[in-house]
A and B are shown apart, each in its own frame.
Chain A
Amino acid sequence: MNPGFGVAGTDLYRSLSWLPRPPADFVARCRALEPNPAPGSGLQALAVYALDENDLHRLSALITGARHAGKSLSPLVPFRLGILSNATTDFIVPTLIASAARHGIALECFTSAYRQVAQAALLPDSEINREQLDAVLIAVDYRGYFPASTIGDADAAKANLEVALAQLQTIRSAISATNRTICIVQNLAPPAETLFGSLDEVVPGTPRAFIHELNRGIALSVAGSQDVLFDVAGLAATVGLAEWHSPDQWNLAKLAFSSTYLPLYGDHVARIIAALRGKSRRCLITDLDNTLWGGVIGDDGLEAIQLAQGDATGEAYLGLQRYLLELRQRGVVLAVSSKNNDEIARLPFRKHPEMLLREEHFAIFQANWSDKVSNIQAIADELGLPVDAMVLLDDNPAERGLVRELLPRVAVPELPEDPAFYARVLSAAGYFEAVVFSREDLKRADYYQDNAHRVTLQKQFADIEGYLTSLKMVITFQPFDEMGRARITQLINKSNQFNLTTKRYTEPKVAAAAADPDCFTLQVRLADVFGDNGMISVVICRKSSADAWEIDTWLMSCRVIGRRVEDTVLQEIVDHAKRAGICKLIGRYIPTERNQLVAQHYEKLGFQPLGAAADGTTVWELDVRRAQIKSSPAIVRRSGFEVTEASNA
């Protein structure tokens, strides 16, 4: 579904894989924005993609150009950042400016001359101190700290450490006093090279041991001060020191770290700045089926969903649940938005022994069949949080696309195929970056708690038709055949929710229906811009009188609900019925515990009621010559029918 997604090794971090790939017309869209008198929103929309170094340069030039032309960058929030570094800042500045736009910040950067860290900080009329800055980034790497060698001499190493920390403190104090601003202090990524090997950690005064101690000292000095830490050491360790440091690039252009990681570095600084401006995300909205557990609860049932210790797939979902629980503990509000029946969706939370997440962990629990956009808006309204405080976790690329399109301020990470990486991707995206942690944070999630209640949808989004068209859906109709038989049988025996009659058939019965001249059968496949969804619907009609077909079976995968596939399927049935001289379609809804979703199915499609039985079964009729069916947003293809027709696209 998503072949471009790299999560193995360092791909995730190098390519910012949680962000959608830039569109093919990215450059054209940059150009189109140039004459715009108020480009702020447009710039942010272009910044949300996984941009490489050159894309970031292009976007940064656009932002700087707009600022020089005196244009307003609103709604981006202005932020003036000084940068002190012992390395070249020419590469990081454009990266920071473009990455900051991704986080809603209009960043302006002021740099000191190369290696003039102390001078810039200490002289009152230096470039840095002349400007009214919102923060100063102290981006000094290990080459800027390195003292005389003290290998093996514990006392000298300790003295060196104190000197290094005191120097840093002097710089920070000077910035605070002169500029009345805070510092974002980088700690140090240790070099990849060791002297002894493992012994470096043991012997005092080795580079590894020194940096280790220094980083601890920096963290302690930041805690309780007004300054904040940028954990470059942690970032470098995450991608690997040998990946992070590039000795040739240092020699070539004094790049403090490999240019491959400029986009990652830029995004991390931008997160901290966004957090300083109160723009971090606050609430995580999660999907359920194939996101919190494997499988579809409504179809597979409580026993069959994958969520067990000892099963690799089940443990992957448990891993995500554990991570969400930890996020909740640190103050992230959790909510559910799932296309499901409420009762069924709550079942695993109430009855599954291995579930870690329980209903009480969620502030809002939205399980219904409405579109996610309306549901996310309702969740935001109910919590009193803006939509740009929301993150949506969803395995379905079409749902992700819909939310990105209609609610662009909601963060929606791309997810890999393998759920084992869900937690890592969510963490790598850094949506919940914080610069302080207080006792109140521990209680925040509880504060929003109201026992997993539901909120009423106030309004439905109208633009969904446009989105459906943009999905470029292709629906393929075929009669039952041997190739599809196994999957048809599987769907017939597994589908519970979008299933009008819930009749179960074995493979020989499916083959018999295909061969029966009194049966009309359909297998339906759906593809869209995100890939091939495979077989998503099955229909069997049986001739019940000379001029009538009864719809014996009509089922559909819940994954494609809300995409008007049912209208297209009905149109196909009606077309074939007319050709077979059929005047009436009879539809039957047989209620089960799980298929309330389709109780009004035939009514919505324009069938007339014929009657209802005591068990709740309802019978419906459609006059095929008078049927008025909404036109389909999909392109229709057919194959395998006796009369082959051209596509109606």
Chain B
Amino acid sequence: MERSEVYSRLNDLFRSVFDNDEMVITPELTASDVDGWDSLRHVRLMLTIERAFGIKFSAYEVNKLRNVGQLAKLIQDKVGVQA
């Protein structure tokens, strides 16, 4: 899957989870930049991404993520492997 496609789909999922139609994600974005990105929202975000892309994250992978760029890279790797 192309990087741009991952970002486009990911952006839709962020908008859905954060209920914010104007939200635009960037690789540098972190949880502290976003209002309401608490631990519960984070879990919901991860589970939503897993369902939408048909992939699974391990707890280790989730804990290691530092920003949206790393998240997108992880998705791209997993989708690529499964394709």
A: which residues have CB within 8 A of B? 27, 53-54, 57-58, 61, 90-91, 248-249, 251-253, 255, 259-260
Residue of A nearest to B13 (CB): A54
Given A54-B44, A57-B44, A260-B51, is A252 in contact with B19 using a C-beta cutoff of 8 Å? Answer: no
B62 interface neighbour in A61, A90, A252, Cβ under 8 Å? A252
Where chain A touches its partner, the secondary structure class is helix
Interface presence of B32 (CB below 8 A): no
Q: How far is the CA of A259 from the CA of B40 in the complex (A)?
A: 12
Chain B residues within 8 Å of A90, by CB: 40
CB pair A248 B56 closer than 8 Å: yes
Interface presence of B82 (CB below 8 A): no
The contact string, 1 if C-beta is below 8 Å from chain A, for chain B 40-53, is: 10011011100100
Return A64 CB to nearest CB of chain B, in Å: 13
CB pair B62 A91 closer than 8 Å: no
CB pair B56 A27 closer than 8 Å: no
CB pair B48 A53 closer than 8 Å: yes
CB pair A248 B44 closer than 8 Å: no
Q: How far is the CA of A54 from the CA of B14 in the complex (A)?
A: 10
Chain B residues within 8 Å of A91, by CB: 40, 43-44
Chain B residues within 8 Å of A248, by CB: 56, 58-59
CB pair A252 B16 closer than 8 Å: no
Q: How far is the CA of A423 from the CA of B16 in the complex (A)?
A: 34
Chain A residues within 8 Å of B21, by CB: 27
CB pair B59 A58 closer than 8 Å: no
Q: How far is the CA of A17 from the CA of B63 in the complex (A)?
A: 35
Chain A residues within 8 Å of B62, by CB: 252
Chain B residues within 8 Å of A259, by CB: 44, 47
CB pair A252 B43 closer than 8 Å: yes
CB pair A251 B59 closer than 8 Å: yes
Q: How far is the CA of A111 from the CA of B81 in the complex (A)?
A: 42
Q: How far is the CA of A248 from the CA of B56 in the complex (A)?
A: 9
Given A248-B58, A252-B59, A260-B51, is A57 in contact with B19 using a C-beta cutoff of 8 Å? Answer: yes
Given A61-B19, A248-B58, A248-B59, is A54 in contact with B48 using a C-beta cutoff of 8 Å? Answer: yes
B43 interface neighbour in A54, A61, A253, A260, Cβ under 8 Å? A253
Return B38 CB to nearest CB of chain A, in Å: 10
Q: How far is the CA of A251 from the CA of B51 in the complex (A)?
A: 18
Return B18 CB to nearest CB of chain A, in Å: 9
Interface presence of B17 (CB below 8 A): yes
Chain A residues within 8 Å of B16, by CB: 54
Residue of B nearest to A55 (CB): B16
Shortest Cβ-Cβ A-B pairs, 4 listed: A253-B43, A54-B16, A259-B47, A90-B40
Return A50 CB to nearest CB of chain B, in Å: 14
The contact string, 1 if C-beta is below 8 Å from chain A, for chain B 4-20, is: 00000000000011010
Known: A27-B21, A57-B44. 4 other contacts (CB 8 A): A53-B47, A54-B19, A91-B40, A253-B39
Chain A residues within 8 Å of B56, by CB: 248
Q: How far is the CA of A61 from the CA of B21 in the complex (A)?
A: 16
Chain A residues within 8 Å of B39, by CB: 253
The 6 sampled A-B contact pairs (Cβ below 8 Å) are A54-B17, A57-B17, A91-B43, A248-B59, A252-B59, A253-B43
CB pair B43 A58 closer than 8 Å: no
Chain A residues within 8 Å of B51, by CB: 260
Return A229 CB to nearest CB of chain B, in Å: 28
Chain A residues within 8 Å of B47, by CB: 53, 249, 259
CB pair B19 A58 closer than 8 Å: yes
Most chain B CB inside 10 Å of its own CB: which residue of A61, A251, A252, A260? A252
Return B1 CB to nearest CB of chain A, in Å: 22
Q: How far is the CA of A248 from the CA of B43 in the complex (A)?
A: 11
Q: How far is the CA of A510 from the CA of B57 in the complex (A)?
A: 63
Chain B residues within 8 Å of A251, by CB: 59
Return B7 CB to nearest CB of chain A, in Å: 19
Q: How far is the CA of A252 from the CA of B19 in the complex (A)?
A: 23
CB pair B44 A53 closer than 8 Å: yes
Chain A residues within 8 Å of B43, by CB: 91, 252-253, 255
Chain B residues within 8 Å of A27, by CB: 21
Q: How far is the CA of A54 from the CA of B62 in the complex (A)?
A: 20
Q: How far is the CA of A248 from the CA of B59 in the complex (A)?
A: 7
Return A92 CB to nearest CB of chain B, in Å: 12
Chain B residues within 8 Å of A57, by CB: 17, 19, 44
Chain A residues within 8 Å of B19, by CB: 54, 57-58, 61
Chain A residues within 8 Å of B46, by CB: 252
Q: How far is the CA of A58 from the CA of B36 in the complex (A)?
A: 14
Q: How far is the CA of A623 from the CA of B11 in the complex (A)?
A: 63
Chain A residues within 8 Å of B44, by CB: 53-54, 57, 91, 259
Return A389 CB to nearest CB of chain B, in Å: 34
Q: How far is the CA of A91 from the CA of B44 in the complex (A)?
A: 8
